[in-house]
Structure 1
Amino acid sequence: MSERRTAPRHRVLKHGTLAFGGGGGVDCMVRNISSGGARLEVANPFRLPQSFTLVIESDRFMRRCRPVWCSDSRIGVAFN
């Protein structure tokens, strides 16, 4: 399997929130992260909008992102 990421990801275990424009949000766990994206665990990744904001309050981190793949309870996102 070839590596397609442009930046190396770092393993983490942090609580995050996927914030939506209409005021809603979904809790998630951030499992790895890089300058270009992240792998998240969410209860139901198949009902997410086309774009949202990943918020990690403990790090004061906010990034606009879009889903690029999903499988079971995992989702890969790319930062805009």
Structure 2
Amino acid sequence: MQEERRRQHRSRTLKGGRIVTNDGHSTFDCTVRNLSDEGAKLVVTSVFGLPNRFRLAMADGRNFDCETIWHTEAELGVRFL
């Protein structure tokens, strides 16, 4: 079992969002699977081509500047900046 290193508990969620890059000219759909005040876990079709830093625009209108902390082929953990 993997050791929990987060300082804050993340609540499970299932919300739509978009990863926004290139000054808003490029967007990628994502699903927010868990969320805290400090970060989130995102599910995407592929992490290929995603920059390390980007803006997360959630369907509920909230926006976060993010930095990728870890990723697999279709998931990424981000820290809010």
Pair in the same fold by TM > 0.5 = yes
Name the SS for the 2:22 alignment partner.
coil
1:27 equivalent in structure 2: 29
* Unmatched 5+ stretches in structure 1: none
Corresponding residue pairs, total: 79
- CA shift, 1:3, in A, is 1.4
- CA shift, 1:2, in A, is 2.3
- CA shift, 1:46, in A, is 3.1
Q: Tell me, yes or no, if the aligned pair for 2:15 and 2:59 is still in contact at 8 Å.
A: no
Moved over 2 A (4+): none
What TM-score do you get using the length of structure 2 for normalisation? Answer: 0.90
- CA shift, 1:57, in A, is 2.4
Alignment root-mean-square deviation, CA = 1.1
What TM-score do you get using the length of structure 1 for normalisation? Answer: 0.91
Identity of aligned residues (%): 35
* Unmatched 5+ stretches in structure 2: none
Q: Which amino acid aligns with 2:34?
A: N
Please say if 1:57 is aligned against 2:59.
Answer: yes
